[in-house]
Structure 1
Amino acid sequence: MSLKLKTAVLATATAIGLAGAAYAQDMRIAYTGYSTDNTFWIGVATAAGAEAEAQGVEFIDMTASSPDSAAQKDAVDRAIDMGVDGIIIGSVDNRAFDASLDNAAAKGIPVVAVDTGIDHPHISSLVQTDNLAAAGIAGAYIVEQLAGEGSVLILGGSAGHQTGNARRDGVLTTAEAAGHEVIFQICDWQDSCAFETTTNFLQSNPDIKAIFSAWDPGALAAVSAAKALGKLDDLVIVGFDGNPANLVAIEEGEQDATIKQDNTRMGQESVRNLLNIINGADAPAVVPIDGILITEANVADFK
């Protein structure tokens, strides 16, 4: 949408480095995240909404209550039909948007991705954790704890999911390089699958000494399964997200570690980048955000 058709006003975010940016008084941006029932994504949406409010921009959260790629695509299509000025997508299935993004491009509506890359030329910017590097840190921690013994079970996301694949590869590459057998199982980010998979593999494979879940609720499911089998003390369990419940589990000695994602910064940066693009300014193609390893040694710093 051409900014010449709108009356520009100064943004209210001078203190955060966007001094001089001018945004239309009636500017609207749409956001659709992974779901509203996930702690990590609640944090992303809250930060994005607060950033939009600080900029004096209307923020329309169209996120579904549970992960649903069809519902999310529909939300994007509805946002385009509404004529919003820009869209932020935290995708459930990053392969689901080709036609929608073609339509957004035709109508001049910029789109930014958060957390997960979407392979389409109309995506102007991606804000995400450096998942490969962060998972490599998780893998190095697992290797150190195992001291040369045991296999590693990886509980993964969805097939072909960019974020999940990077988290898998970071741990897999590091563990295999240290000589550990790695078993990978797709769980579609489903906690029930994480519980069932952990239960089945711990019963059938006594060599498993570490479990990495690509999402923190899956790590808690693995903890529950291991406890039920009386094997929790024999395992290293590591998650990814830095959710509050997992920090409690680490503090209590049930989960060993997690990788914290800075979901506040992810929400903020995605809005800032989108507004810059709408305003005709540059925005980085990729904003990689470092992950932080949280263990019992430093968990108190993050609670």
Structure 2
Amino acid sequence: MSILRNAISTIGGAALVLSASTSWAEGIGASLLTQQHPFYIQLAEAMQQEAASSEVSLDVSAANQDLSKQLADVEDFIIRGIDVLIISPVDSQGVLPAIMKAREAGIQVITVDVPAKGVEVTSHIGTDNFTGGQRAAELMGEELGGKGQVAIIDYPTVQSVVSRIEGFKDGLKAYPDIEIVAQQTGITRAEALSVSQNMLQANPDIDGIFGFGDDAALAASVAVQAANLQDQVKVIGFDGMQEAREAVDSNPVMVGVIQQYPDEIGRLAVQTAIKIMEGETVPTEQPIVPGVYTAR
């Protein structure tokens, strides 16, 4: 493999050319969960910028939430002989064979955003999702005056979301008069809209909805308004992308979002990979505490 490598990753419909020259022969391979979400667009752009400024080779592939594609992409990286694999798993447990195979090939593994389950990696870099979930619960408790019924839109195969939901439930322990009456999976915006409608129909006294991500929360806010419950139901999201922040600013149903920092995660991932290639020891956990965005 040549020292100078060009890679093209299509992110959000735009081609990002990831090219760099380096003294390392192989460099970094990154397998990202998707190319269709603003969080991962920003993360990939930050990785690209950091790799370019550091003159290190970086190849990015996007799994588009398809585990079989992600496994194939990692296999390709292994064959090419990369030094470090950066991966955001499509499935926290399903990705285990690929990570194990990479490690057996002598490749150091960094997980970003979504942790892997049942396997050790060199470092995990991502939002402190449990704390973010707790902050969402605190905001919900404040918005509901400490009492009411809430529903959760979930994505249970992704460990980062599992941690968010666990944090949310833990945070609600401070509000014994708030009851979780429904929890359903809604991975895409269309699915989240459908499950929101179902939960509102089955539980007409719902006062709040926590969406695991911005798409889920935005879909829930549409369902709330369609059901003419905008004076009753408050929605909280998680990610903090521009569309969600704008909704919080302008839509009274969306009362807040837990804000992640994908730029920081992307830069830190590449910086950590470089340290590994230089033989440095890196922290096994590098959590980034999220913020809380509410209306200005």
Select the residue among 166, 174, 181 that pairs with 1:169: 166
Partners of 2:33 and 2:90 within 8 A in 1: yes
> By percentage of residues, which structure has more strand?
2
Aligned counterparts of 1:120 and 1:45: Cα–Cα separation in 2:
26
| Aligned counterparts, 1:95-106, within 5 A | 95-106=93-104
Residue in 2 aligned with 1:92? 90
| Aligned counterparts, 1:203-242, within 5 A | 203-242=201-240
Partners of 2:153 and 2:216 within 8 A in 1: yes
Partners of 1:175 and 1:182 within 8 A in 2: no
For residue 288 of structure 1, what is the amino acid of its counterpart? Answer: P
Aligned counterparts of 1:149 and 1:244: Cα–Cα separation in 2:
30
Partners of 2:117 and 2:159 within 8 A in 1: no
Deviation at 1:120, TM superposition (A): 4.9
Where structure 1 has 5 or more consecutive residues not aligned to the other structure, the ranges are 1-5, 7-22, 298-303
TM-score, normalising length: structure 1: 0.86
Aligned counterparts of 1:106 and 1:171: Cα–Cα separation in 2:
37
Between 1:166-175 and 1:115-124, the stretch displaced more is: 115-124
Residue in 1 aligned with 2:13? none
For residue 172 of structure 1, what is the amino acid of its counterpart? Answer: K
Aligned counterparts of 2:215 and 2:93: Cα–Cα separation in 1:
24
Q: Give the length in aligned residue pairs.
A: 274
The answer to whether 1:48 aligns with 2:60 is no
Aligned counterparts of 2:116 and 2:147: Cα–Cα separation in 1:
38
| Aligned counterparts, 1:277-292, within 5 A | 277-292=276-291
Residue in 1 aligned with 2:10? none
| Aligned counterparts, 1:122-137, within 5 A | 122-137=120-135
Aligned counterparts of 1:192 and 1:158: Cα–Cα separation in 2:
17
Residue in 2 aligned with 1:77? 75
Residue in 1 aligned with 2:266? 267
For residue 88 of structure 1, what is the amino acid of its counterpart? Answer: I
For residue 223 of structure 2, what is the amino acid of its counterpart? Answer: A
Aligned counterparts of 1:70 and 1:183: Cα–Cα separation in 2:
35
Residue in 2 aligned with 1:147? 145
Q: Deviations over 1:57-109 (max 9, x none)?
A: 12111113x21111111111111111112110011101122322222122211
For residue 214 of structure 1, what is the amino acid of its counterpart? Answer: F
Aligned counterparts of 1:178 and 1:102: Cα–Cα separation in 2:
42
Partners of 1:69 and 1:96 within 8 A in 2: yes
With over 3 angstroms needed to count, the CA separation of the structure-2 counterparts of 1:157 and 1:184, relative to structure 1, is farther
Deviation at 1:128, TM superposition (A): 0.7
Partners of 1:30 and 1:60 within 8 A in 2: yes
Deviation at 1:186, TM superposition (A): 3.8
Partners of 1:157 and 1:165 within 8 A in 2: yes
With over 3 angstroms needed to count, the CA separation of the structure-2 counterparts of 1:176 and 1:205, relative to structure 1, is farther
Residue in 2 aligned with 1:138? 136
Select the residue among 228, 240, 243 that pairs with 2:241: 243
With over 3 angstroms needed to count, the CA separation of the structure-2 counterparts of 1:111 and 1:146, relative to structure 1, is same
For residue 66 of structure 2, what is the amino acid of its counterpart? Answer: D
Where structure 2 has 5 or more consecutive residues not aligned to the other structure, the ranges are 4-21
Deviation at 1:144, TM superposition (A): 0.9
Partners of 2:152 and 2:183 within 8 A in 1: yes
TM-score, normalising length: structure 2: 0.88
Residue in 1 aligned with 2:179? 181
Deviation at 1:204, TM superposition (A): 2.0
SS at the partner of 2:111? strand
Please give the root-mean-square deviation of Cα atoms over the aligned residues, in Å.
Answer: 1.6
SS at the partner of 1:96? coil
Partners of 1:212 and 1:237 within 8 A in 2: yes
SS at the partner of 2:41? helix
Aligned counterparts of 2:186 and 2:284: Cα–Cα separation in 1:
27
Residue in 1 aligned with 2:59? 60
For residue 221 of structure 2, what is the amino acid of its counterpart? Answer: V
Partners of 1:101 and 1:120 within 8 A in 2: no
